[in-house]
A and B are shown apart, each in its own frame.
Chain A
Amino acid sequence: MSERYSRQELFDPIGKEGQMKIQQKHVLIVGAGALGTGSAEALVRAGVQKITIVDRDYVEWSNLQRQQLYHEQDARNRLPKAVAAKRRLTEVNSEVEIDARVMDVGVEEIEELSRDIDLIMDATDNFDIRMMINDMSQKANIPWIYGACVGSYGISYTIIPGETPCLQCILETVPIGGLTCDTAGIISPAVQMVVSYQVSEAMKILVEDFQSLRKKLVSFDLWQNQHTFIQIDKIKKPNCLSCGHERTYPNLSFTNQTKTAVLCGRDTVQIRPAEPVERDLDHLTQALSIDGEIDVQNPYLLSVDINQHRLVIFKDGRVLIHGTKDISEAKSLYYRYLG
């Protein structure tokens, strides 16, 4: 097994010393979609001590084109992404501890997940959760690496508390309103490019080579053949509520938390019960097979088709209602069958 990291140790900026540091680090990856599976595989191969990977969704056929840890069987079984990811990651490198969580990340969850974490990798698909990560990063003094992509376009920025501007500083600088959901499709090289930027920066942080960090906002379009770097240090605001002198971490306040959410580009509404519940999936399978048709039941979730909707009920209490973007319609279905 000593051969395992030899090529990485031969790379001068890492060396044996850097490798030892990597092997003592714990990375939190928020999201196990395209970016999350890419980052997770790279960091697990690189030999970090521990990865915590968290995701609220399950594997679908439309994921297989770019979400590199998943197989057809995962889509067939509608396996939660975190569970499927852990399986594959353990096959890749059994020396790395993988903590896989099937859950929706809210304020409470991000506080718990961020304990003893050296670095947070952003692999999410929306800005609500990114703003939470941003404030948690500032509060607990943990670097995080923003990454996102759509179409053939990608963007990344590394946020180091106390050094760089934070996402709150950045998004305050530009007119808001355009932060809607991306529904334009995506090609896998755009994913891989963002993953490469994120993981390179991650490695520098893990070996504590902060001087080598990129320090610039990077964006590219692989179809339009464009690549842009911008220095944005000046955007840092002394009075920023997330990273400034009188910080209040507005994105970690509970009032900002929603219990229902329309999932990005998915024609799906997620409903979280107000109090945590553990669902009895066997019992629900029986009860719901009267009105609906059972699609899949596995140890983590139950998927059932009722008329033109599909309800996916997770053991942790959450329900995804597919076939609608209308929160009130989703709620009425929820209360009819699970209230």
Chain B
Amino acid sequence: MRFFINGDQVEVPASVQTVGSLLEHFDIDNKVVIVEHNGNILSKDTQTEQKLEDGDRLELVHFVGGG
């Protein structure tokens, strides 16, 4: 699968079919992440189940606490 993530073209294994598995793939599934999928902000409840297709555009922003 090929996505555009935060502006970069990224190749991921074909097993990455949902936002949930994508976050796991990048090891940020245990973080607080806002996901924009093809221009739409995903809500907390449906975020992980959102199906992905080849060529999807995603913006991922995770919250951190340090300062």
Contact = CB atoms under 8 A, between A and B. Distances in A.
Contacts, number: 98
Contacts of B21: none
Contact of B44 (A130, A175, A227): A175
A325 to B, nearest CB: 16
Interface of B: 6-8, 28, 30-34, 36, 41, 43-44, 47-48, 59-67
A167 to B, nearest CB: 9
A186 B63 CA distance: 15
Interface of A: 31, 33-36, 122-127, 130, 147-150, 153-155, 170-182, 186, 194, 217, 219, 226-228, 230-232, 234-235, 264-265
A188 to B, nearest CB: 13
Nearest to A190: B66
B41 A235 contact: yes
A154 B64 CA distance: 8
A228 B59 contact: yes
Q: Residue among B31, B33, B41 with the most chain A CB within 10 A?
A: B41
A178 B67 contact: no
B7 A123 contact: no
Contact of B67 (A125, A176, A231): A125
Nearest to A146: B63
B63 to A, nearest CB: 7
11 contacts: A125-B65, A130-B65, A148-B64, A149-B64, A173-B43, A174-B47, A179-B32, A181-B65, A219-B61, A228-B6, A228-B59
A280 B6 CA distance: 55
Contact of B7 (A126, A180, A226): A226
A194 to B, nearest CB: 8
A178 B61 contact: no
B63 A179 contact: yes
B7 A227 contact: yes
A178 B7 contact: no
Contact of B6 (A31, A175, A226): A226
Contact of A178 (B32, B41, B60, B66): B32
Contacts of B30: 177-178
